[in-house]
Structure 1
Amino acid sequence: MQLDLQNIPRRKNLSKEDFLREYFKPNKPVIIEDLTANWPAYHKWNFDYFREKAGEVVVPLYDGKPAKGRQNSHGIAMKVPFKEYIDILKKGPTDLRMFFFNLLQNCPELINDFQYPDLGVKFFKKLPVLFVGGEGSKVVMHYDMDLANNFHFNFVGKKKVILYPPDQTGLLYKVPYSIVSMEIIDMDDPDFDKYPALAKAKGFEATLQHGDTLYIPSHWWHFIKYESPSLSLTLRSLPKSPKKIAEVLNNLLFVRNYDNLMRKLRGQKWIDYKNRLAVKRTNRNAGIE
């Protein structure tokens, strides 16, 4: 048994009009292979370049361990200069990742190495962010709390990506009061005996190489495995519809704060309760007793 996944479409010479009509408006993913070919970053961005330009910048690193007890989710594992993190990446497999690292705040000169693509989309220009990970590191299946449309530009290494549209949420063991699937589930090698509904979910997959641009539509679930040490840039376009804005505000003001409060009050009992509820609800959605 395996996940039901089809390849994410790959395009070259994709015009603004075609992108809007075929992918952005219908909320479908696509990989654009040549969008970054004329950017300085396409040729410059590698780990040696970042060691030179940002080696002294202290960066927060996160590991793959699920939060336990009264810990907040997404706790920082350590902070080190970027050059030390690069050394860690080059030594071999590691689950240490750097995510949502604001390039504008920390390395403003590097914003000259890329451009905001002319795709008919309004970008949130205050938040160009880097994602870096070591070989074998994985990002739990989730969707973004701010429901942004993500444009993910891969420059170093390769990574495996699995996507699911919002209408598959009921089959993904979504944890209540969160935007993640159960952290114990390894989407790279799922246990279908324990989580049988996953076999019914219909999604997409791809391996991103140097220069690939992945468009992840708003509210789409994504899982990422770093096949090799990898560095990527993400540019974001925020939702405009009143319904999505209301959901974003609910995520930021209620869901996140309520979950963190309950973690502090009930600790591991709260996490275990949510996981049991995730299994019960998902199996019921899938017609599994």
Structure 2
Amino acid sequence: MLLVYPYKQVPVYWRRLLMESSLIITAHQLLNLTAATAPDPEVARKLIHDLDTAMVVSGAPGKGRHALGHGILDQVQQWLSSQHPRQKFSYSQKRVLESPVIQYPIERPPNLPSFTGFSDHVYNNKGPFVFKVGAVDHWPAFNDHPWSSIDYLLSIAADRVVPVEIGRSYVDIGWQQRMMRFEDFVEKHLIGSEVGYLAQHDLFYQIPRLSNDLIIPDYCFVSPPPTSTYTPPLDVLQNAWLGPVGTITPLHHDPFHNILVQVVGRKYIRLYAPDQSEILYPHDGIMANTSQVDTSCPDLQRFPRFKEAVYTECVLSPGEMLYIPPKWWHDVRSLEMSFSVSFWF
């Protein structure tokens, strides 16, 4: 029944039924684990796979269900991580793409803006800019809980199940999304040669232990006023973007203000103002927020006016943040293995 409806329209009772039945199965698996003289790691992994998948798909509706499910998953994952040493990985095992020559650089003010200064910038509909390094240096993800260490990430999430985009870009034929163990994602995609991207996923709601490694920037609480094209979300929306060199988010725009924080690796980002929309050749229908043009190799016979489009660009490095206003088109390409967090507000 979950597949009968568009995902956002699935009635809550079907999602709750999935969650409740999965918790019953989990209780049975826990009994088998705790009753065994020598608990079987494969039973523990099966438990994580089943419950994690159910929570991601259902959204864990029901009073206290997310906290209950997370508590079980976290404890079983920590037991597995402590009992079974894993192969050591390193971000040094990677390819790096050469940085493009920046011809039209995004503004980089010499100082971090004050809260009121940023609020004025947003209220006056000014454009994107890169924050001076220093706004997120205090995050544990840059210090004692380093996201630059794959071993650390595996200790938190090796057996957790995450949605991975398979393919170069979501507009390509053959693109698909698969649920897989985080460690398998690391081996096949971060370290291996297969293209796969953990993209626009609220990993921090799914794995709250990771949410402790970041702090929502104060700038996300400036409360921009609603407009005819912008409705503020009820809360700051956080999404993780983790993938190998060469991953692409094609030229598109989003409905919210966005602060993109680069934690690991570098990304090349190109932005176009909303007034360029007509010559960016948006798709029709539900993908109207995505351009048909591949900015790295535009087909100017099909899209002749694209050559007139004016853009600004940057390479975003670890510790830097980029502000992207609503409806600004942006194309994002990883120059190396990369971990980013977007905050929509």
TM-score of the aligned structures, taking structure 2 as reference length: 0.60
1:45 aligned residue: 147
Asked whether the 8 Å contact 2:236–2:343 carries over to 1, the reply is no
Deviation at 1:191, TM superposition (A): 3.3
CA distance in 2, matches of 1:50, 1:142: 30
- 1:181 paired with 2:304, answer no
**Residues 71-86 of structure 1 aligned to structure 2 (within 5 Å):** 75-76=176-177, 78-86=178-186
SS in 1 for 2:212: helix
- 1:61 paired with 2:159, answer no
CA distance in 2, matches of 1:56, 1:143: 33
CA distance in 2, matches of 1:176, 1:200: 21
Cα gap change, 1:154 to 1:124, in 2 (>3 Å): farther
Deviation at 1:93, TM superposition (A): 4.9
Structure 1 residue corresponding to 2:307, chosen from 170, 184, 199: 199
CA distance in 1, matches of 2:305, 2:334: 25
CA distance in 2, matches of 1:124, 1:209: 30
Asked whether the 8 Å contact 1:4–1:203 carries over to 2, the reply is no
Amino acid at match of 1:195: F
SS in 2 for 1:10: coil
1:242 aligned residue: none
Deviation at 1:98, TM superposition (A): 1.1
SS in 2 for 1:59: strand
Larger Rg: 2
- 1:117 paired with 2:217, answer yes
CA distance in 2, matches of 1:30, 1:227: 20
Give ranges in structure 2 of 5+ residues lacking alignment: 1-100, 224-232
> Which stretch shifts more, 110-119 or 213-222?
110-119
Cα gap change, 1:214 to 1:191, in 2 (>3 Å): same
Deviation at 1:36, TM superposition (A): 0.6
Cα gap change, 1:216 to 1:126, in 2 (>3 Å): closer
Structure 2 residue corresponding to 1:22, chosen from 102, 118, 121: 121
CA distance in 1, matches of 2:216, 2:155: 24
Cα gap change, 1:4 to 1:86, in 2 (>3 Å): closer
Deviation at 1:192, TM superposition (A): 3.1
> Which stretch shifts more, 4-13 or 156-165?
4-13
Q: Percent of aligned pairs with the same residue? A: 26
Deviation at 1:75, TM superposition (A): 4.0
- Tell me which of the two structures has the higher relative contact order, counting C-alpha pairs closer than 8 angstroms and 6 or more residues apart: 1
Deviation at 1:94, TM superposition (A): 4.2
CA distance in 2, matches of 1:90, 1:75: 17
RMSD after superposition:
2.6
**Residues 124-163 of structure 1 aligned to structure 2 (within 5 Å):** 125=235, 127-144=237-254, 147-163=255-271
> Which stretch shifts more, 158-167 or 195-204?
195-204
SS in 1 for 2:312: strand
How many corresponding residue pairs? Answer: 227
2:104 aligned residue: 6
Amino acid at match of 2:257: N
Deviation at 1:8, TM superposition (A): 1.0
CA distance in 2, matches of 1:55, 1:124: 31
Cα gap change, 1:20 to 1:127, in 2 (>3 Å): closer
Cα gap change, 1:200 to 1:31, in 2 (>3 Å): same
2:298 aligned residue: 190
1:235 aligned residue: 343
Deviation at 1:14, TM superposition (A): 1.8
